[in-house]
Structure 1
Amino acid sequence: MPEATSSLVTIARAVNGTTDLTETLRLVCRELARLTLAETVAAYLLDVEGKEIRPAAAYHVPKHTLEVLTTTALPLAAQGFAQSVFTAGHVAWSDDVQNDPRFAFPLFRAFPHRSGLIIPLSVDDAVAGAFYLVWWQEQRQVPEGVVTVLETIGQLVGMLLKNAQLARVAETRRRSAEAAEGRHRLLFDRNLAGVLWTRRDGRIVDCNESLARLLGYDSRQEVLGHDVQSFYMNQADREGVLAGIAPGGMADGRELYWRRRDGTPVWLRVNLRATAEGWFEGILIDISSEKRVAQAERAASELRAVAMLAAATAHEINNPLAILLGQLTMLAREYPENARTAKIVAAAERIRDIVSRMTNITRIEASEQYPGTSPPMLDIRKSGDARDP
């Protein structure tokens, strides 16, 4: 069969030229018809349970047989050729199908034809289906050499179909991976939080636009390649942040005190993951406002404590002070010529003014009169004078 080589090339092109299995089998059926001069060729595939073969594709099927031939499954147990074709993997043929007991299944008798040939479709040393070739009127005998060629074609088609299937699976996985990467990149780029990858030595290998904006840069390209340690207000802090994170481990909620591009400080909270390759993945959010709120809350708490202490102290001082000031005032009236008495009254009134301001403290202002190593002291006048900004 000199046309066999040409047919194999054509079949190979057909198998590799389309990802549609049905179309591939139809093209193979057409080429088998051209090679063998069969008038009709049909392809059947074994079902998952291995109990029946079902029509998958066909070429040049007469219209009056089309519906039945393309919808009827053949139970293997009812086929006289099942052992030789689907177990042994050999071609089976007959030039008198209507009287051949191997072809006694009703479908073969429903549409009388003279000759038929079955080529097993072998995949990995197992038969996965078959091609059935029909000569409606011709009494066709098949020489042993041709049988061998057709068996080889069945094996090669099976191998090509398997390779094509593997290629389709690989292509599907590639597209799926690309789509997943695209979704990941979209999530990465649109994430409101800053995201970055760094090597163990601190070099930034990737980040998103949010991180660039967070650090005061115009684009992520300006951040790539920087040493992450340069963003720390205290560069020694990085080792503490990474401490205890083993490869594959994670640490959530650690705080960073960094500086932006213009040098202004920024507080960040980071969730870190160490990869098996020694890289670090981080998701960072700006908590500077949170820190400012916490600082304001601490200042308010301190103010409340100071105000409460000042009010209690003022109350305790005010009562004896009122008596003392009253007595000093009377004494000054009795001895108006005594300058010392007038000074004492003025000092007592000054004390009364200070006590009054202590009850009106609305903020904490430190005194500027005690520089150096002395601890800061409360400036009662500034802290209690509502007219001061």
Structure 2
Amino acid sequence: MSGAARLRLSGGPGRSGVTRWAGADRIAAATPAHRDRTIDALRAVAILGVVLGHWLVSALVSDPAQPADVHGASPLGETPALAPATWLFETLGPFFFAGGYAAARSIRGRAFRPWFGTRFVRLGRPVVVLAAVWLPAMLLLRVIGAPESTRHVVRSLVTHPLWFLLVFLLLTALTPLLRAAVLRHRTWTAAPLVALVALGDLLHLGSGTTPVGWAVPYVLGIALAEGVLPRRAGAVLAAAGATAMAALVLGLGYPASAVGVPGAGRSNLDPPSLFALALAAVQIGLFLLIRGRLAGWLRRPPVWAPVVLLNVFAMTVFCWHQSALLLTSFGGLLVGRLPGLLDEPSGWWPVHRLLWLPVFAAVLIALCSAFHRLESARRRP
């Protein structure tokens, strides 16, 4: 797959569209026949969901009297009617599902220590590069006297998305045990985990239940890899998940937003609640239902090539997407409180923010081009 990443989709200015199509053909030809393209597509969609979700709900607000004084806000606090939109962009469930599938497939016939070491380095190197850039930057902000609120929002946006890496590494380390449990108990392995999440919701146990919550889709991914999660389970998961979402919100008072809302007393994401698991069940169920047709689409080189690139750059995109938001916003300080950037997230702000997404994406592409080579410099082809 890393070899395919180096194939160019475009020959640059002056090249014809035929060259771009040929590049897609080369990527398709470089893909191993045994690779499950649908899982790669699910992972790509999950990464896009996380990135777009963060860009759409992370508002940086500049103080009109002191523009350098920036604090964080969210349009969800101003417009509760936007809550259903978070169901589309909260895609950590599918991400952990894809991770469980990939781990179960890759560990077969391999010793645990080198297998885990490879995955640890693959996840850890992008974080090291991110830290090498942002730790001096944070020190510089302190030296030049940046307001504490500004430094706080930078720390939060850069570091908060990385919490999932610790959970992902823990579940990766537990893969042999979870896989053995799935081989013995099939999908029932997830039942006690769901029960523990329900207990955590009832007793308000806090973030300590986070690994347990995301272990549920991870186990389902292992079950798919081991052939014990059939396609017909998709209808059950989707229906049961949708029913549970409605019951939890309408009957038990769970928040309707899939992500945290500033000022709210309860969050479905920190730690993942039963609502988060129900949403993940719907998403995974729908994926299982369309998986066969999706596999056919992904055999087309122009469809498959972007999926390959998103997977190759997945960790770089995840680590740097909030940096793209920060850099664009700080650049906006030179101009003022542009609509959708540095102003209060109310009124038409969500519409204005949509117009900034291409700018964030362009900055992110530049960051990925700059740092992906450093992250993979010592990685074997």
TM-score normalised according to structure 1 size: 0.24
Rg: which structure is higher? Answer: 1
Higher strand share: 1
Higher helix share: 2
